[in-house]
Amino acid sequence: MQKNRILASLLSLIMMVAAAISAEAQQSSSSGSSAGTEPKPAGATSPGSVVLGSGQDENAAPGSSPVGPVDPYSGKLKEVGTGLPLFGTSTTPLRWGDFSISRFEYVGLHSDSELNGANTHTTSDISLFRTGLMFDHTFWKSRIVLQYLPQLAIFQGQVHANANSNNTFTVGTNFALTPRLSLTVQDAFVQARENQLIPENFMATNWAAGAVSQNSFLNTNGDFLSNTASATLQYAFSPRTSFAVSPSYSYARMNSSSTSPQFDTDGQVYQVTVSVSHALTPYRRVGIAESYSYARQFSVTAIDARYSTTTLFYSEQLSPSWWVSGNAGASYQSNSNIAGLGGWAFSGGGSLTGSISRIVGLSVAYTRGVAFNNYISIRQSDRLDGTIGLHLGPRVMWNNGGGYFRETGANPRTSGKYATSGFSYNLFGNISCFAAYSHVFQTSNTQQLVSGKQNIVEFGVRWQPSILLPR
C-alpha cells in the first residue's frame, strides 16, 4: 500500500509536468516575441547585462527590469518561499483567470548530523514534491496576492501531506487609496518540521533587481511555527518625498519533538516604524526612520525587552546592474531580567548586489536586529551573508555562498555559520536539474536548537517559468 501511494504520487507529478510542457510549447508556437522592440531602461548601456538567477528570463526585454534604488520601507509584496520582493508574476501557461500554478519540483535531501560531544552520526533522507500556487487579482489599481507552497514529503518510509510537513503561505494586498496614498497589508505563515532546510534559500538573491533576502538556516530541535502580520501606510508628499508608517506583529512557537526533552516556548514581537524618505535623483534615495519594538519570550518564565531605534538610510542604483543600500543608527534597549544586556548599541545593516557582464553576480548583506531565525529569542543578533553566481554557459549556473550569525551580548549565546555550493543545468524550456552541498555548524544556548554540525546534499528537478517583470 505504501509503495502504491508513492508510485501514484510520482506518476501524478510526471503527468502534471508533461501537461505543463505541452501547454507551454503550444503557447510558444502560437505567439511571437516582441522583446526586441522594448525600450531600454533609463541609464542602461547594454540590454540584459545581469547574471540571471532562478526563474529569470534570459530573453526578457531590457525594459522589463525594475529600475531605481531599493526602498527598505516601501512595503513591497513578498514572494513566498524566498522572501524576495514580488516584482511581477509568473509567465506560466497553467493559468486560469487569476489563479495559476507557477512551478513543480522534486527535491531530494540527504542530511548527516553530528551533535557536539557525540561520536555518532545521524542521517536522514527526505523526498519532497512541491508546487507553487498563486491567486493574483488586480482591481481599481489595487492588487491582492495569495501564495501557497503545498508539498508532499516522504520521510522514513512514510508519506506526509502538508498537515505533517512544512507549510508556507503568504497573503498580501496593495490598495491604491488615492493617487498619493497607498496601503500594503501582508501576512506570512511558516511551519517548519523535520528540519527541511533548502540550501539555495539560505540567502535568496534577485540580481536583476538588486534585492536580497536573508532566510533561516539554523537547525531546530523540534517543530517551529511563526506568523508575521504587517501593514505599511505610505503617503507621497511629492514625487520625490514620501512618509510611511509600518506596524507589524510576529508570533512564534517552538515545540520539542517526541525524541527530545520536552519543552515549549513562544514569543511575540510588536513593532512600529515611522520613516521619511527623499529621492535626491531617480537613482539615489536617503531617509530617516524611527522604530519602537517590544519583544517577549516565554518558556518557564517570561523575559521581555524594549528597543527604541533611530537610523539613517541610503540606497542607490549605481549602474544598470549594481545596487547598494545601507542604514546606520543607534538602538536603546531596556530589559526586565536579562543580565548583561541593555543600554545603547549600534543598529544597522546594508547590502551590495550586482553583476559583471552576464558572467559573474555578487551579493553581500549584513543586518543587526531582533528576528526569529528558526528559534525564539529577544536578543539582538548580527547576520552576514555573501554569495557569488557564475554563469558558466547558456545552460549552467554555479552558485556559492556562506553566512555567519551570532547573538549579541555575553556568553552563553547562539551562533552559527554555513557554506554552500550548487549547480543548476537547464535541460530544455523551463525545466532544469540542480544539485547543491552545504555545511552548517552551530552552537546553541537554548533547547530550541541543536549544537553541532550538519552536512546537507540537495538534488532535484524543477519546472519554473520565468517571471514577468512590470514595464
Complete domains list, the chain, with CATH: 2-25+62-468 (2.40.160)
- Residue 152 CA to residue 157 CA, distance in Å, equals 13
Range 309-328 average pLDDT: 91
Q: Report yes or no: 253 and 273 within 8 Å, Cβ to Cβ.
A: no
| Residue 355 confidence (pLDDT) above 60 | yes
C-alpha cell at 287: 531617509
Range 438-450 average pLDDT: 87
| Residue 332 confidence (pLDDT) above 60 | yes
- pLDDT given for residue 166 in this prediction: 67
- Residue 9 CA to residue 125 CA, distance in Å, equals 17
Decide which of 201 and 335 is more confident. Answer: 201
Average pLDDT score, the chain: 78
- pLDDT given for residue 470 in this prediction: 57
- pLDDT given for residue 85 in this prediction: 83
- pLDDT given for residue 52 in this prediction: 36
- Residue 371 CA to residue 382 CA, distance in Å, equals 10
- Residue 136 CA to residue 465 CA, distance in Å, equals 16
Decide which of 424 and 64 is more confident. Answer: 424
| Residue 34 confidence (pLDDT) above 50 | no
The band of 196, judged by pLDDT with boundaries at 50, 70 and 90, is low
162 — phi, psi (to 5°)? -65, -25
- pLDDT given for residue 3 in this prediction: 40
Range 3-9 average pLDDT: 41
Tell me, yes or no, if the pTM score tops 0.85.
Answer: no
Q: Which residues contact 373 (CB under 8 A, 6 or more apart)?
A: 216, 217, 218, 381, 383, 405
Q: Report yes or no: 387 and 363 within 8 Å, Cβ to Cβ.
A: yes
- pLDDT given for residue 49 in this prediction: 27
- 106-128 pLDDT, tens digit per residue, is 999 898 888 876 666 788 888 88
Selection from 186, 243, 246, 203 nearest residue 351 by Cα: 203
C-alpha cell at 282: 531617480
Out of 14-23, 169-178, 349-358, 428-437, which region has the weakest mean confidence (pLDDT)? 14-23
Q: Is the alpha carbon torsion for 50, 55, 61, 65 positive or negative?
A: negative
- 240-268 pLDDT, tens digit per residue, is 999 999 999 999 888 876 555 677 888 89
- pLDDT given for residue 326 in this prediction: 92
First to last CA, the chain: 51
The band of 300, judged by pLDDT with boundaries at 50, 70 and 90, is confident
- Residue 419 CA to residue 105 CA, distance in Å, equals 24
Q: Which amino acid does the sequence have at 415?
A: S
Range 39-65 average pLDDT: 31
| Residue 338 confidence (pLDDT) above 70 | no
Out of 126-135, 334-343, 389-398, 400-409, which region has the weakest mean confidence (pLDDT)? 334-343
- pLDDT given for residue 69 in this prediction: 76
- Residue 131 CA to residue 150 CA, distance in Å, equals 6
The band of 408, judged by pLDDT with boundaries at 50, 70 and 90, is confident
Selection from 430, 468, 427 nearest residue 104 by Cα: 430
- 136-194 pLDDT, tens digit per residue, is 998 887 889 999 888 888 877 777 765 455 678 889 998 999 999 999 999 998 877 65
C-alpha cell at 338: 536579562
- Residue 232 CA to residue 273 CA, distance in Å, equals 9
The band of 340, judged by pLDDT with boundaries at 50, 70 and 90, is low
Q: How many CA atoms lie within 13 A of 393 on its CB side?
A: 7
Q: Which residues contact 298 (CB under 8 A, 6 or more apart)?
A: 265, 266, 267
- Residue 451 CA to residue 116 CA, distance in Å, equals 6
Percentage of the chain lying above the pLDDT 70 cut = 79
Q: How far is CA 392 from each of CA 51, 399, 400, 463, rounded to the nearest angstrom?
A: 10, 10, 13, 21
